[in-house]
Structure 1
Amino acid sequence: MTSSPISARLSPTASFRLVVLAETVLKAGETARGSLRRRTSAEMLAKAPRDYQTEIDVAVERVIVDEMAKAFPDYAIQGEEAVGNRTAGPETPVIYIDPIDGTTNYAWGIPHFGMTISIVESGRLVMGVVYDAMQDELFSAEIGGGAYLNGERIRCADVGDVENVLVGAGLPIPGQVTAVAEATYFEAIKRLMANTAGVRRLGSAALSIAYVACGRLDGFFEDGLEIHDFGASALLVEEAGGIVTRFSGAAVEGKGDILAASKVLHPWLLEGFRSKM
C-alpha cells in the first residue's frame, strides 16, 4: 500500500517527536497488515475471558518498542503486551503503546483495528497517533496543535438534533463495567437505540474515538479501558473541539470509563448516566 510522505500526513507544525511516532506506527502497520487472517483457537492466547492476544500483537509491539527505545532512550515505555516495558521517575515522559486495538477483530480476520502510540508528560497527554493500517488512515494530534487525519485538519461534528446522531459504544465482556451498574450501562445503550440514528459497536475503541474526532461518529462510550486504548484518541477529540470525560462528568485520569463526544451531544449523553447515579 502506498502512502504520502510523512510530512504531508501531519500538521504543518508537527514536532520531531510526533514525526517519530507517525513513522513508527506506519512501519508497524506493515507487519499487521501483511499478517491479517483468521486465527485458530490454538493460535490465540486468552489473557482473560474473551480478551485475546495473538503473535502479531507481540510482534507489532516489539517493532514499536524498538523504535521508541532508540528515539527516546530516557523515556519510560508502557505497552499493552508488556514487551520491553521500562519505568522511570515521576517526571519522566511515558510512551503508551497499544499494538493492536481490536485484537478480537484482528484474530477473526476482520480488517478493522487500530494501532496507537501516545506520550504523557507530568500526567498530561501531549501527543499521540492512531493508525488504521487497512485504510491507511493516520490520525495525529499534539496538545494545542489541532487534530489531523492524513494531513487534513479534522473537527468533531456539530449536530444538535439527537435523532440525527450516530453513537458508538462498547459491548462489555463479563466484569468490564465497573463505573456504573451493568444495568445502567445497557439502559444507556437502549436510550440511544430509542432516540438516535443508531448505535455502532465497531470493535476498536481507539478508532471509534478517533471517528468522533473526525465527525464520523457523534459520540462514543465504553468502560474498562486502559490509557493505551484511548489516550491518543482522547487527545484527538479534545483537539478537534470535543469533550472527553468519565460517565460522571469527571476528568479522565488513568484507566476506566470514557465518554467522548461533540460539544453539542456530550451533555445529552452524560445525562443518560448521571440520571442513574
Structure 2
Amino acid sequence: MTLTTTQIDALIAETRRVAKEEILPWYRKLDDSEIDTKAHAQDLVTKADKASERELTRVGRDILPGAVIVGEEAVSDGSVKLDVLKGADQALIIDPIDGTWNYANGINTFGVILAVVEKGETVFGLLYDPLGDDWVMAERGGGAVFGTPAGDVRPAKARAPRQINEMTGYWPPAIFNAEQRSRMYDFAKVIDRHSSLRCACHEHRLFAQGGADFLLTANLNPWDHAAGALIAREAGGYVRMLDGEAYAPTLTDGNLLIAPDADSWRALADPLRMAVFGA
C-alpha cells in the first residue's frame, strides 16, 4: 500500500494550509485561558494544537481513506488508543504542533509532524516548519529531501562521521531523572556540545540536514519520532534503539539513538547506556 504522489502532495498542501489558518494566527496572541497543561506543568496544549489536529484529522481521512488517524491530542484525551497502530494496515500519525512549549512562549522553534505507518513500518514522514514554510520529508526507499513551495528541492544528507570528542547532539535532559541527568552530564564532557530545542521536529530536521551528529530520545512518542526516524535513515543515518534493537513506530518503551553511521552509533551507545541505564 504505497502512497501516491498525489497523496503526498495533498498531505503537504493541507499541512501548509492548516498551519496558516489554525496555527500562525494565534502565535504570540494566546492568553492564559487558551493554554492548558497535560501530564505536567511544562507539558502544554493550546487552542491551536486542538484546532489544527481536528482539521488535519478531517483532511487526513479524505486523503487516506480507511487509514487509522492517531493524533497526539486525541491520545492525550483518551479518544484514541496507541494500540491501534499495531493492527492498522495504514495509519496517519499527527503532531499538530511539535514544540508547543516554545509556541506558547513565543519562541520560533516549533513545527508540524506527519507520519504514515503501514503494517507497523513508517513509509512517509514530514517535518514542516510553519514560519519558514518549508519541510524535510522522506518516503521509504526514496531518500530524504528538503522542499519549499517554490519547488526548491534538494537532498537532505546526514553529517559525515567524526570523532566522538567533535560530536554535537541533542537530548532532552529535563525528561530524564536526576540520576540519569548526572551521568549524562559526565558523558557530555567527552563530546563537543549538547543541547535541546524542546522540539523534536527541528532536532530531526537538523540531523537530516547535517546540523548535528546524534539524537537521543527520552521517550518513543510516535508523533515525535516516527517521521524523524525514517527521515534520518533515508538521509543516510543509523537508527537503532539504545539497547541495539530495531526501532519501530509501534514501540512505546525505550530510547532511540540516531547517528551518522554504525561506527558513530557504537561509539555513542556504550557510554550513553551507562548514563541512561546506570550499567
Match of 2:205 in 1: 210
Equivalent residues of 1:117, 1:232 under 8 A apart: yes
Sequence identity percentage:
26
Equivalent residues of 1:92, 1:122 under 8 A apart: yes
Q: 1:98 to 1:88 in 2, by over 3 A?
A: closer
Alignment of 1:81 onto 2:73:
yes
Alignment of 1:118 onto 2:115:
yes
One of 238, 258, 261 as aligned partner of 1:260: 258
Q: 1:144 to 1:85 in 2, by over 3 A?
A: same
- Structure 1 Cα separation of the partners of residues 116 and 225 of structure 2: 12
Q: 1:268 to 1:40 in 2, by over 3 A?
A: farther
Look up the equivalent residue of 1:250 and give its one-letter code. E
Q: 1:118 to 1:196 in 2, by over 3 A?
A: same
One of 226, 231, 238 as aligned partner of 1:243: 238
Equivalent residues of 1:93, 1:120 under 8 A apart: yes
Task: Give CA-to-partner distance per residue, 1:70-115, whole Å, 9 cap, x none.
Answer: 1122111000011985969924201100001101001101111120
Match of 2:93 in 1: 96
Structure 1 unaligned segments of length 5 or more: list them: 1-12
Number of aligned residue pairs: 258
Look up the equivalent residue of 1:138 and give its one-letter code. W
Greater mean alpha carbon deviation, residues 125-134 or residues 194-203: 194-203
Shift of 1:182: 4.9
* Matches for 1:19-168 after TM superposition, within 5 Å: 19-30=9-20, 31-37=22-28, 39-49=30-40, 50-82=42-74, 90-150=87-147, 151-168=153-170
Name whichever structure is richer in helix by fraction. 2
Greater mean alpha carbon deviation, residues 210-219 or residues 160-169: 160-169
Q: 1:271 to 1:38 in 2, by over 3 A?
A: farther
TM-score by length of 2: 0.84
Shift of 1:183: 2.0
Equivalent residues of 1:131, 1:138 under 8 A apart: yes
Q: CA RMSD in A?
A: 2.3
Look up the equivalent residue of 1:111 and give its one-letter code. N
Task: Give CA-to-partner distance per residue, 1:209-266, whole Å, 9 cap, x none.
Answer: 2211111111111212300111111100000111122221222232342211211532
Shift of 1:14: 7.2
Q: 1:255 to 1:114 in 2, by over 3 A?
A: farther
Task: Give CA-to-partner distance per residue, 1:184-210, whole Å, 9 cap, x none.
Answer: 354234322x12231121110122022
TM-score by length of 1: 0.85
- Structure 1 Cα separation of the partners of residues 106 and 128 of structure 2: 17
Equivalent residues of 2:27, 2:106 under 8 A apart: yes
- Structure 2 Cα separation of the partners of residues 186 and 132 of structure 1: 33
Shift of 1:60: 1.1
Match of 1:271 in 2: 270
Equivalent residues of 2:86, 2:120 under 8 A apart: no
- Structure 1 Cα separation of the partners of residues 182 and 257 of structure 2: 14
Equivalent residues of 1:39, 1:109 under 8 A apart: no
- Structure 2 Cα separation of the partners of residues 167 and 104 of structure 1: 21
Structure 2 unaligned segments of length 5 or more: list them: 148-152
Q: 1:70 to 1:14 in 2, by over 3 A?
A: closer
